[in-house]
Structure 1
């Protein structure tokens, strides 16, 4: 049987979707074409009718930052969720917009049958025969004993039982009399707070079959209260101050009130009985009575509105009223018993589907998302990304050509910065790439290769953040989101997207081409990503493209590592950081500049003899004309004139001496001493670097 699935040919910049596009997706997923909902404009849902349900989980203060920080730990999430999209920062009424309310969305445009109740959005269903309520209870009306939980159901749903190991010390109600269809019903509900021991009862309500409140008490927990959970319990510290009632008092009173054939009714009553530490053998649980597929349950608030037409748990009230909730659960059970399953579905639950649409919210405590902690968290992720984008290559000969190195490593992808490392005996080069694939391609293809006349070793820096780099690279490569996607480097900047489409058109099953662009300048990069319909087609293309020449440029390729939305996310993270005055990833990856070459040249003065050839190479590598750079240099000065003549002064010579000698401008003046300079003799030295047009 064909399963429901989503097909979205989204790659790169198009991975950002708007709240309106998200609403399109959720609306069609929940309703389908039978309820006049249209397919989303930006993707396609196949076999919508086979969807078991739609669940939206909203994690406040969470972002892609957290996903990539704990990427390896989220193995199950990465496997299950094939498609991931970027959303812009949500508005204050984000949840309302998902239900088709506010945020510029037209509620009247909602397809018929969509009910928005904050937590549930329910479309119409068809065919009573398939409904789980009919499958469980049949079509005929029955007495209340048919709806009480069996011993097996009690155990399965974590109800406290006499033979359960974790229920030692629980009080038994001793209601052992045989139940009949005329046994009395009692509604029970508790509110809890969080203590050092876990959830403990802080308020209890019991109502009889007529809705009269028999018990409505505040309870002082035994352990220290960590969180009053006032939003739900409605209880504050001030309210509990005068309270003397303890849990054993409540247990005794409940046991005394309940007759021996009492049937307790509640919504997810197992949690209440566990908190009360009481065992009762006969229970009707309304969260299980109104059955849904695969264990899903309706909220009490929704059932009260849909079945009874009552509003409970109103936002204006502080917390829940346990007496109101107990009464609502009791009335739901009475209505179900009186009307029977068929009437419940035909009248009260005519809008309830086989598949549900639920929104679940999680939020973090303010202490957890304190700005300074979040900044530190961002910095850690940036540092790890920077380390993964960085490689070191070397050693090189002292007179190596920097341009040749840049050209060779540039074939692997866009270079953000290139610096010469001279703290080592022989020079090394530090290269920071703009994409993960480029850095990995350089490690794989250039390690052990001959570059600029030297056989070089290519490796990433060894830091705490890169210790698991190999594992992370492998997981990124196997990520389901990168399935059928390959990375191609060596694209000339003069080529347009149309040119590339034409060049790659012979490749079988090519679905999408993504040419990354700088979000500020709009210029495209020297690499691209190709997405194929089948993994095998991607593998075949990978083999064909390596060494492929396009407009005089040789291409290199490998499997993709980073999904398209990572590009935009890194840019936005940097952009946000710059606005706040922080250090961005791009700041850590400074572009190739004259000052970098100058630093290398200055350090070179420490050697016994300075080679003219090396100076000439350094001069020719300066990219920007008419740029003057002045940096400290060990024991001397260098002036490079517009005609590429240069003057070097070492030892006792001063800057004035050097400039004086430069008046000539027609000769190479070289002053050096054949000895190693120490820090003391190097003091006061400087380097001036100038290149004309």
Structure 2
């Protein structure tokens, strides 16, 4: 009986061992399908849950400066920000505050490979509904200003749209000509990746073209359209609020601020921008 009992125990152990091996083999033979890219609300929640990085540190600094700006405006204090070279109201374009989050080393102030552009417009024509370029701003990858100039419209201005454009007649005192603005912008954009929001309109206003392969448009970025605008083009104000948690365009617009915000929105999803961009142009060339 002792021999029979031991034999039964050996049989049970052998059966258990085989069962474990079969289970292990079944697991290893499973096909791991690659996960699809997530857009929509889940994609948005996952991005918000990520740990803060350098970009978000800049966002927090910008938030503080903008909050201070709004507080001063409420209290009736001066709130028109000027660049260091401004001597009077008509000397050059007024700019938003210099945010503490901007890096100050020499390399970060160079033009670099990426630039963001935004324009402000005034009304022309009998009813002022047609638009003419009145201010051009270009910033680099880190938010430093490359160019920020008021531009003299070639037509008679019938509506300055100051309440939204921030442009006033006195700004034209030392404004540059349209031709000069066009030339300087063309030189800056040459060979560089242009980041913008609905950038087609800005390029058309300057009568300039830029290779599609060198454009990154935050209004056309598919994940943003799906997550924030039900497949349509989201506004820059909406993207800034949802992604950066910053309220912009509260009253008068600033083309410098909008250019900086656009670049930060691009940087918040830069890898996906470039992945989709490569896919698009690879398919087009086949």
Distance 1:322 1:187 in 2: 10
User: Residues 133, 275 of structure 1: CA spacing in aligned structure 2 closer, same or farther, 3 A cutoff?
Assistant: farther
Give 2:200's aligned residue: 270
Give 1:291's aligned residue: 225
Match status 1:326 vs 2:259: yes
User: Residues 130, 212 of structure 1: CA spacing in aligned structure 2 closer, same or farther, 3 A cutoff?
Assistant: closer
Q: Tell whether the 8 Å contact from 1:207 to 1:214 is kept in structure 2 after alignment.
A: yes
Matched residue SS, 1:279 = coil
TM-score normalised by length of structure 1:
0.22
User: Residues 235, 185 of structure 1: CA spacing in aligned structure 2 closer, same or farther, 3 A cutoff?
Assistant: same
Matched residue SS, 2:225 = coil
Q: Tell whether the 8 Å contact from 1:132 to 1:291 is kept in structure 2 after alignment.
A: no
Give 2:62's aligned residue: none
Q: What does residue range 434-453 of structure 1 map to in structure 2 within 5 Å?
A: none
Q: What does residue range 165-564 of structure 1 map to in structure 2 within 5 Å?
A: 184-196=113-125, 198-240=130-172, 242-260=173-191, 262-281=192-211, 282-289=214-221, 290-292=224-226, 295-315=231-251, 319-338=252-271, 340=272
Give 2:107's aligned residue: none
User: Residues 283, 229 of structure 1: CA spacing in aligned structure 2 closer, same or farther, 3 A cutoff?
Assistant: same
Distance 1:221 1:207 in 2: 22
User: Residues 253, 129 of structure 1: CA spacing in aligned structure 2 closer, same or farther, 3 A cutoff?
Assistant: closer
User: Residues 128, 249 of structure 1: CA spacing in aligned structure 2 closer, same or farther, 3 A cutoff?
Assistant: same
Deviations 1:114-167 (A, max 9, x none): xxxxxxxxxxxxx98574998xxxxxxxxxxxxxxxxxxxxxxxxxxxxxxxxx
Unaligned runs of 5+ in 1: 1-126, 135-182, 342-693
User: Residues 130, 308 of structure 1: CA spacing in aligned structure 2 closer, same or farther, 3 A cutoff?
Assistant: closer
Deviations 1:291-348 (A, max 9, x none): 2377522221121122112232234xxx11100000100111111115x48xxxxxxx
Q: Tell whether the 8 Å contact from 1:186 to 1:208 is kept in structure 2 after alignment.
A: yes
Q: Which has the higher strand share?
A: 1
Matched residue SS, 1:186 = strand
Matched residue SS, 1:278 = coil
Deviations 1:66-91 (A, max 9, x none): xxxxxxxxxxxxxxxxxxxxxxxxxx
User: Residues 295, 129 of structure 1: CA spacing in aligned structure 2 closer, same or farther, 3 A cutoff?
Assistant: closer
Tell me by how many angstroms 1:214 deviates.
0.3
Give 1:600's aligned residue: none
Matched residue SS, 2:195 = strand
Tell me by how many angstroms 1:196 deviates.
2.3
User: Residues 133, 189 of structure 1: CA spacing in aligned structure 2 closer, same or farther, 3 A cutoff?
Assistant: farther
Q: Tell whether the 8 Å contact from 1:228 to 1:235 is kept in structure 2 after alignment.
A: yes
Tell me by how many angstroms 1:259 deviates.
4.3
Distance 1:278 1:132 in 2: 37
Deviations 1:255-308 (A, max 9, x none): 222342x11111111111111111011211101111237752222112112211
Q: Tell whether the 8 Å contact from 2:186 to 2:208 is kept in structure 1 after alignment.
A: no
4+ runs deviating over 4 angstroms = 127-130
Tell me by how many angstroms 1:237 deviates.
1.7
Deviations 1:358-413 (A, max 9, x none): xxxxxxxxxxxxxxxxxxxxxxxxxxxxxxxxxxxxxxxxxxxxxxxxxxxxxxxx
Tell me by how many angstroms 1:194 deviates.
1.2
Tell me by how many angstroms 1:212 deviates.
0.6
State which structure, 1 or 2, has the greater radius of gyration over its C-alpha atoms: 1
Bigger RCO of structures 1 and 2 (CA < 8 A, at least 6 apart): 2
Q: Tell whether the 8 Å contact from 1:133 to 1:291 is kept in structure 2 after alignment.
A: no
Give 1:44's aligned residue: none
Count of residue pairs the alignment pairs up: 161
TM-score normalised by length of structure 2:
0.51
Q: Tell whether the 8 Å contact from 2:120 to 2:135 is kept in structure 1 after alignment.
A: yes
Deviations 1:32-77 (A, max 9, x none): xxxxxxxxxxxxxxxxxxxxxxxxxxxxxxxxxxxxxxxxxxxxxx
User: Residues 285, 130 of structure 1: CA spacing in aligned structure 2 closer, same or farther, 3 A cutoff?
Assistant: closer
Give 2:61's aligned residue: none
Q: Tell whether the 8 Å contact from 2:141 to 2:263 is kept in structure 1 after alignment.
A: yes
Matched residue SS, 2:219 = helix
Distance 1:213 1:321 in 2: 13
Matched residue SS, 1:288 = coil
User: Residues 243, 195 of structure 1: CA spacing in aligned structure 2 closer, same or farther, 3 A cutoff?
Assistant: farther
Distance 1:201 1:132 in 2: 37
Q: Tell whether the 8 Å contact from 1:190 to 1:203 is kept in structure 2 after alignment.
A: yes
Tell me by how many angstroms 1:189 deviates.
0.1
